[in-house]
Amino acid sequence: MGSDLEKILHELRIKIRSDMNITLTNQEERITSKINENIDQKFIFIQKEIETIKQTNENHEKRIALMEKQIRARNVIFFGIEEGENSYEALEGKVLTTINNMGLKYDKNDLEMVRRMGKPTEGKTRPINITFTTYGKKIAILKNKSKLKNTNIYIKEDFPPHVLEVRKSLQEQVQKERSEGKMAYLKYDKIIIKEGGSSSKKIEDFRKNQKSKKRELESSPPQPDGNPSTSSESITKHRIAKKNKITLGGQSCLTNFVQRREDISQTPSIASDDLNE
């Protein structure tokens, strides 16, 4: 009797231990799952915060780049004007003398600021950064920069360092496009490419396109299918559609022709961003 009781107690202990182990395992799994869930939620939250910060930084960078572009919009840089001035007025006078030698009549009121760039270095002539009072004054300078061709002085636009790097990397592509007969130039930090061809060629292509449309309008109406009502209705619909097409087509043709002539007449003979290429 005693041995049976001991056996029962032993089996009971084993079962209790087994149940405890199962309970502990389940508890561990639940705790681990809860911890992982919390970690995932925090990770998602942190990831969203990082994305928000990245987007904010990108927006700030765009604003800064835009502000820098606007600040430099009226600037040009003169290279090769010898140093030796001992005052701001003397430097301003040198700049005005150079500009007037280009055939332009500028005075102090056209200059907002002039300054040498960088620290003085023996044997080197520092460039001069010039800010004009209007954007038009800058464009006039760039259009006439060829008048300095036989001198030691030349002109460049004022771009931020990162834009200069981009433009430098794009020069090879610009030359390639030009060698293929396309009109290509740099506009700030992008390449602008226009297909070659004269205005007369564009007008001729336009006329051919209109002749093609006219031939389509002159196509015969649908053939009757034997049913008088169907045939009459089909022909009536065709005539209405043809009439509407001619009316709208004529208006569209006139609008397109005027728009194309305006585009041709407004095609710039010189691109301001390509003036220093």
CATH number reported for the structural domain that contains residue 143 in this entry? 3.30.70.1820
Q: What is the mean pLDDT of residues 235-245?
A: 51
CA distances (Å), origin 22, targets 18, 19, 229, 274: 6, 5, 87, 79
Whether residue 221 is found in the same domain as residue 192: no
- The CA distance from 71 to 76, in Å, is 12
Q: Mean pLDDT over all residues of the chain?
A: 74
> Span 163-189, mean pLDDT?
80
* Structural domain contains residue 18: yes
Chain position carrying tokens 């007037």: 100
Dist. CA 189–CA 164, nearest whole Å? 8
Domain hosting residue 168, numbered range? 160-196
Looking at the predicted structure, is the pLDDT value of residue 50 above 80?
A: yes
Helix (H, G, I), strand (E, B) or coil at 220: coil
CA distance 225 to 247: 28
Could you tell me if 99 and 62 lie in one domain?
Answer: no
Name 170's Cβ contacts closer than 8 Å, sequence gap at least 6: 186, 189, 190, 191
Confidence band of 142 (pLDDT split at 50, 70, 90): very high
- What is the DSSP code (8-state) at residue 133? S
Residue 179 is encoded by which pair of tokens?
Answer: 């060698």
61 and 80 both lie in a single domain = no
* Residue that wins the pLDDT comparison between 258 and 233: 233
pLDDT at 216 over 60: no
Among 55, 70, 85, where does a domain finish?
70
- Number of domains forming the structure of the chain: 4
* pLDDT given at position 264: 44
The helix (H) or strand (E) run that includes residue 155 is strand 154-157
277 domain-assigned: no
Looking at the chain, the whole-number percentage of residues with pLDDT higher than 70 is 65
What is the percentage of the chain residues whose pLDDT exceeds 90? Answer: 28
Place of tokens 């009781």: 5
Dihedral sign for Cα 17, 19, 24, 25, please: positive
3-state secondary structure of 136: helix
DSSP 264: H
Q: What is the pLDDT of residue 200?
A: 39
The predicted model scores a pTM of 0.52
* pLDDT band for position 153 (cuts 50, 70, 90): very high
Mean pLDDT of 121-130: 92
Same domain, 56 and 117: no
pLDDT above 70 for 49: yes
Residue 53 burial (C-beta neighbours within 10 Å; 0-12, 13-18, 19+):
exposed
Q: What is the pLDDT of residue 115?
A: 95
Is there a contact between 98 and 153 (Cβ–Cβ < 8 Å)?
yes
